[in-house]
Amino acid sequence: MLEALESIINQGSKHEFEVLVLDNACDKALENEIRKLNKANHAQVLYFPVEELGLHNGRNQGAIKARGEIVIFIDDDIIAPPDWLKAICAPFVNPKVGAVGGKTIPQWDAPPPDWLKQVPDDYFSLLDLGNVSREMQWPETPYGCNMAFRRELVLTLGGFPPDGVGGGWIEWQRGDGETGFAKRVYDEGYKIVYSPEAWLYHRIPAKRQTLEFVRRRAIKGAISSAYSEIKYFLPSKLLLPIQVAKHVLKALSAGVKRLFASFRGVEHWLQYDIQWFHHLISALYKMRILLDPNLRKWVHKEHYWADASSKTN
């Protein structure tokens, strides 16, 4: 966290900016460290505890408390080069640009195993669409560790849908986070720009280079994907059982393929393992949608904060 903050407060930019830390852990030790950082660097990093758990709660609270026209979101495990802030703000000179996503480069804490090449880059929030700035097209979206939005859009479009609520092995009450919000920005007619100049490092610790992490990430991705399907495409109660059956069949097919590939090493069976988890969890989630009216109501909420209209001042 502190290394990330130091890379931000030392930006070589003429832009006037503020740095806000939204802390779900409400960690007094972190608050004290930030005080020391401010004193040592003559900076003013603002610390806000966020008692309600969930990544989206921190993001939404950050947009509410911020004062600038542009809100930039990063993770606590990034390192930004000196010109990053200038680069990620540059596309907003075009009033039709509603968001910017920067290039994200991995910084591996340990040499990654070869089988990790089979894992989708978005599992690690790695975005690399090349070295030329361009307009993104749906379903392309920025990733949460390196993205910027017009603050007005975050406030008026209802904030970020949840993408980290709950806990335990399966986080059922989960949404589609920055992906869902980016879709709303697209739907409003704004452009989203990919900027390779706005690059930064995203640290990948050794604990994320494990099969357990990949499987948990597959589960979370399946829930987010099923949430989006339910929210935006409104399948009927007659169609949902058919979708559940299709997911079960696909899970069985992936399981059989994984079994036959299991003798050839993880790099050969991992893709089927991911598919198995995806379809199994998708089936379970959609079954819960059929049986749980409270979950259906939660999915179709317009926004996930108390009164979005009151946040715009």
Which of the four pLDDT bands, split at 50, 70 and 90, describes residue 303?
Answer: confident
Helix axes 177-187, 211-233, angle to 10 degrees: 30
pLDDT at 12 over 90: no
Q: Output the pLDDT for position 167.
A: 54
Q: Which amino acid is at 107?
A: Q
160-216 confidence digits (pLDDT tens): 988 765 555 447 778 899 999 999 999 999 999 999 999 999 999 999 999 999 999
Calpha distance 173→224 (Å, rounded)? 9
Return the SS3 of 130: coil
Classify residue 241 by burial, with Cβ atoms within 10 Å: 0-12, 13-18, 19+: middle
Return the SS3 of 106: strand
Q: Output the pLDDT for position 245.
A: 97
- Residue-by-residue DSSP string for 53-78: -SHHHHHHHHHHH--SSEEEEE-TTE
Q: Output the pLDDT for position 15.
A: 77
Calpha distance 251→272 (Å, rounded)? 9
Q: Output the pLDDT for position 210.
A: 96
Q: What average pLDDT does the chain have?
A: 91
pLDDT at 312 over 70: no
pLDDT at 310 over 70: no
Q: Which residues contact 160 (CB under 8 A, 6 or more apart)?
A: 56, 59, 60, 154, 177, 178, 180, 181, 304
Q: Which amino acid is at 73?
A: F
Return the SS3 of 20: strand
Measured distance between the N- and C-terminal CA atoms of the chain, rounded to whole angstroms: 30
224-274 confidence digits (pLDDT tens): 999 999 998 888 888 999 999 999 999 999 999 999 999 999 999 999 999
Q: Output the pLDDT for position 57.
A: 84
pLDDT at 308 over 60: no
The encoded tokens of residue 108 equal 């591996």
Within a 13 Å sphere around the CA of 276, how many CA atoms are in the beta-carbon half? 15
Question: Among residues 178, 181, 105, 101, which one has the least CA distance to residue 147?
Answer: 101
- Token look-up 């992906």 returns 179
Share of the chain above pLDDT 90, in %: 75
pLDDT at 84 over 70: yes
Q: Output the pLDDT for position 164.
A: 62
115-130 confidence digits (pLDDT tens): 999 999 999 999 999 9
Q: Output the pLDDT for position 147.
A: 98
Q: Output the pLDDT for position 106.
A: 97
> In Å, how far are 77, 233, 307 from 198, measured between CA atoms?
16, 34, 33
44-66 confidence digits (pLDDT tens): 899 999 887 778 888 999 999 99
Whether the Cβ atoms of residue 223 and residue 171 lie closer than 8 Å to each other:
yes
Q: Output the pLDDT for position 165.
A: 53
Share of the chain above pLDDT 70, in %: 95
pLDDT at 88 over 50: yes
Whether the Cβ atoms of residue 198 and residue 102 lie closer than 8 Å to each other:
yes
Q: Output the pLDDT for position 19.
A: 95
Within a 13 Å sphere around the CA of 267, how many CA atoms are in the beta-carbon half? 6
Which of the four pLDDT bands, split at 50, 70 and 90, describes residue 311?
Answer: low
Q: Output the pLDDT for position 138.
A: 95
